[in-house]
Amino acid sequence: MANPILVFCEQRDGHLKKAGLEALGQACRLSKAGGRDVVALVVGSSVSPLTQEPASHGASRIVIAEDPALSSYSSELFTTIVADLAAGLKPVAILMGATAMGKDLATKVAARLKSAVIQDCVALEMEADGSLIATRPIYGGKLRAVVKPTNPLMQVVTLRPNIFSLLESKPASDVPIERLAVSFDGTRPMARIRDARATADDKKELTEASIIVSGGRGLKGPDNFILLEELAAALGAAVGASRAVVDAGWRPHRDQIGLTGKTVSPQLYIACGISGAIQHQAGMSSARTIVAINNNPNAPIFKLATYGIVGDLFEIVPLLTEEVKNL
């Protein structure tokens, strides 16, 4: 049997992250050519109820690692789980979402396995011998590097969220589920999370949102973001921001998109009053459709935009909101 593909299906608070299921979808597509199994790994303190989702999203086998010590993410413990499983399984590739957790875990698993790591891929192919050919944006998205690890075994790859599609969910009842005998073999976490406090709001996470309405200095002040909040509410979108407005204290840093903020890949990105500096583009250029609203026809954002609206956002955004509400 050909070496399998291992997918780390990240979960948080009892929910599987979409980014992990997207990695699973891509693993299933890659596995078809080589007739490989796709093994989904779910790690946490109480993950037994989460096996159905990877099964219905194409996994041919599910492995769960359940232990109270795994209730929150620990680089050391999670690395031990993934690397030990991989050492026995000898997968051609280990895939995960390029989330904060995925990016951290990938580097450590690769270091432990002495294998290659390719972060934040936007395209991924596999040759017959299992060698991966991965495409990843570099230099803030100005170039795309095509990377091929020299050893086609245990190649660790993170996939940018919202780029790879989910496999259509189908009921699956006969997928084998294996419970890993969790052993940390002397591994001790370097730090423990003693307390995690949710912020007061229940805002949509930008990196997972399929629609983002984003605002820049053209909004003129923090109070005017209400216009974007209203449009976002009508669209079911998240609200993002440029660094200029975060630096000005109009929005919190977690809303910042760009080189020194978050990287997002939504289906639709609506940039309002954002000039489109290269550092901002670095975080959003892989959005599928970009709509720019700016009163300066020469703003760089228009070079990137799928659709451009030259005009005053204070007129256009409320009109858009009304139109969306009437749909």
Residue 148 token pair: 């091929």
Helices (H), the chain: 18-34, 52-56, 75-89, 100-113, 225-235, 243-247, 278-284, 301-304, 313-325
Question: Can residue 231 be called a binding residue for ligand FAD (CB under 6 A)?
Answer: no
The region of 30-38, 62-70, 195-203, 211-219 touching ligand FAD under the rule CB under 6 A is 211-219
CA distances from 74 to 81, 101, 193 (A): 11, 9, 8
Does the protein bind ligand FAD through residue 44 (CB under 6 A)?
no
Q: Alpha-carbon distance 39 to 213, whole Å? A: 36
Q: Which residue has the tokens 């609203």?
A: 293
Which pair of structure tokens corresponds to residue 200?
């007061």
The residues, any chain, with a CB within 8 Å of residue 2's CB and separated by 6 or more, are: 34, 35, 36, 92, 130
The only residue of 112, 148, 203, 217 in contact with ligand FAD, by rule CB under 6 A: 217
187 part of the interface to ligand FAD, by CB under 6 A: no
Geometric angle at alpha carbon 18, from 14 and 24, rounded to 5°: 105
**Nearer to ligand FAD by C-beta: 14 or 311?**
311
* Residue 279, marked binder: yes
Does residue 228 interact with ligand FAD by CB under 6 A? no
Is 58 labelled a binding residue? no
- CA-based torsion, 250, 252, 254, 260: positive or negative: positive
Q: Which of 123, 153, 177, 277 binds ligand FAD (CB under 6 A)?
A: 277
Question: Residue written as tokens 């289906």?
Answer: 267
Q: Is 18 in the site for ligand FAD (CB under 6 A)?
A: no
Please choose, out of 125-133, 145-153, 155-163, 308-316, the segment that lies near ligand FAD by the rule CB under 6 A.
Answer: 308-316
Q: Does 279 bind ligand FAD (CB under 6 A)?
A: yes
The residue within the footprint of ligand FAD, chosen from 30, 156, 213, 299 (CB under 6 A), is 299
Least CB distance to ligand FAD at residue 35 (A): 43
The correct pick among 175, 182, 259, 324 for binding ligand FAD (CB under 6 A) is 259
Interface residues toward ligand FAD, by CB under 6 A? 216-218, 242-245, 256-261, 273-275, 277, 279-280, 283, 293-296, 299, 312-314
